[in-house]
Amino acid sequence: MEKQIDLYTADDTVRLAIYGTVPERQHELNVLWEKYAPCVEQTLDKCGFNIQAGSFNSLLFDHKSMYMNWLFGFGLMKGLTGFEDLDMPDEINQESINNIKTTTTYFEISEIFDHIMLLKESTDIIEFDENKVPYPKGNKPEDMEGAAAFDLLCMNAAFLMLHEFRHIQLSNMNHNFSAIEEEKECDNYAKNFIIEKISEYCKKSGYGYQQVLVKRMLAIGFCFCFMIFITPQKFWKKSKSHPSIKDRIGSILKDIEIGSNDNFWFYINRILIILICYFDIKVENIKGNQSKLFYSLIEKFE
């Protein structure tokens, strides 16, 4: 990513992440970008996680936050490819959670997660062991894990940036949204931008609609998992300015047609379970098909 910063401006970096995620809307994005003229700036690294819309149409982010997002993507990949022995059951209880905590895969993930937490408190980048997670160098890595983490990083960044871009658009319009409604509007805008024209993409690329929908929705779902991860636990609940993270995920998934036993649920449930392990959340016996499990698991994050 350091290299990328040299080659591209901050504005290019954001647009490339969005183009890469929704190639079918490149022209439309250019028109909107021209109209609202967001002032994209990479700021100096500072404490916390920093991607936000500021005053005067500014869209600000720092390198450290992108690096945190990158590491999280690797953690997720380990979570999805590891635990081969964990045949995601239709029943989860405290014992199965405790068993996961003793696995090598979980140990490796929590090591990455601990490092992201350390970065969150830091004002500078502290590199994670490069033997375990390669430092991002700008181009998509060739190995499968790296390539998948890179795609996830782009899609996560695209969702977050489109959300902030909607805040910028709204700041230039008359609207009656309350702070909470505005957050939901920005989430929905970002989601719709990413999925609304999938069929156009499929016509050109030959990929199946459902396959692309699930991939993109998973990236959005993972983005909310990242929000859960970086938001202090006491702010998972609804506040004056933000809906609860659980409600945000719920409204994003509303009206999306994903079968109750689709892999989508299987993947996202794995990540929620890893977060449950990481935050030491107690779990009673939870049963049901994968989508039912998801809605029970997500209740734990409020």
Tell me which residues touch Zn ion (CB under 5 A).
183, 186
Complex with Zn ion: residue 183 or 247, whichever CB lies closer: 183
Complex with Zn ion: residue 186 or 277, whichever CB lies closer: 186
CB 182 to Zn ion: min, Å? 7
Give yes or no for a contact between 57 and 37, defined as CB atoms under 8 angstroms apart: yes
CB 163 to Zn ion: min, Å? 6
The CA distances from residue 104 to 101, 107, 241, in Å, are: 8, 5, 39
Give yes or no for a contact between 77 and 108, defined as CB atoms under 8 angstroms apart: no
Complex with Zn ion: residue 106 or 159, whichever CB lies closer: 159
Q: Select from 160, 78, 81 the least CA-distant residue to 113.
A: 78
Complex with Zn ion: residue 78 or 242, whichever CB lies closer: 242
In this structure, the strands spanning 58-62 and 91-92 are unpaired
CB 122 to Zn ion: min, Å? 24
Instruction: Find the Cα–Cα–Cα–Cα dihedral 65, 66, 70, 72, rounded to 10°.
Output: 30
Complex with Zn ion: residue 248 or 300, whichever CB lies closer: 248
CB 209 to Zn ion: min, Å? 29
CB 183 to Zn ion: min, Å? 5
Give yes or no for a contact between 247 and 188, defined as CB atoms under 8 angstroms apart: no
3-state helix, strand, coil in the chain (%, to 5): 65, 5, 30
